[in-house]
Amino acid sequence: MSLVVLDTDVASASLRGRLADPLRTRLTGETWCISFVTLGELTKWTVLRSWGPHKLAELANWRQHVLLLPYSDRVAVRWGELQARAERRGRARPVNDTWIAACCLVRNLPLATFNLKDFEDFAEHDGLRIIGINDR
């Protein structure tokens, strides 16, 4: 069994029980992880959408089955390097996507995402391994 990081879009689909068969099959037997950024994004959604106790309990239950990748100095340094190199290439990257990529790269973990275009630059230039899923 190996670790795989879920991008926020994949984490959200999993939480809502909407993982399509190809993705569910690909992730079967893997240990799922989320970054501290994904936890923040999911939390933001709970507040914006005024989740009640039932939905919050579903999130808490789902969280018991995934590992949380925390912030660290190494992740912060890697984020800075990724952002700087992307800017030098004229391809500034979104802040949260860069944090997620940094979490993966520091730990040498693959990222499962529906948003291939958001992470292809990191794959091409920085060695991010992507489990690209086109079907939700």
CATH of the domain at 52: 3.40.50.1010
**Cα–Cα distance, 117 to 131 (Å, whole number):** 12
Whether the CB-CB separation of 68 and 100 falls below 8 Å is answered with no
The reported pTM is: 0.92
pLDDT of residue 84: 97
Task: Tally the domains of the chain.
Answer: 1
For 16-53, the pLDDT digits (tens) are 988 887 888 889 899 999 999 999 999 999 999 999 99
The model's confidence at residue 135, banded by pLDDT at 50, 70 and 90, is very low
Does the pLDDT at position 120 exceed 50? yes
The token pair at 49 is 């959408």
- Give the range among 74-78, 89-93, 104-108 with minimum mean pLDDT: 89-93
Using alpha carbons only, give the angle 79, 19, 66 rounded to the nearest 5 degrees: 50
The helices-and-strands tally (H runs, E runs) of the chain is 7, 5
Structural domain of 52: 3-132
Predicted confidence band at 104 (pLDDT cuts at 50, 70, 90)? very high
Higher pLDDT, 16 or 1: 16
Assess contact for 126 and 18: CB atoms under 8 A.
Answer: no
Residue 33's DSSP bridge partners are 5, 67
| Cα–Cα distance, 123 to 47 (Å, whole number) | 33
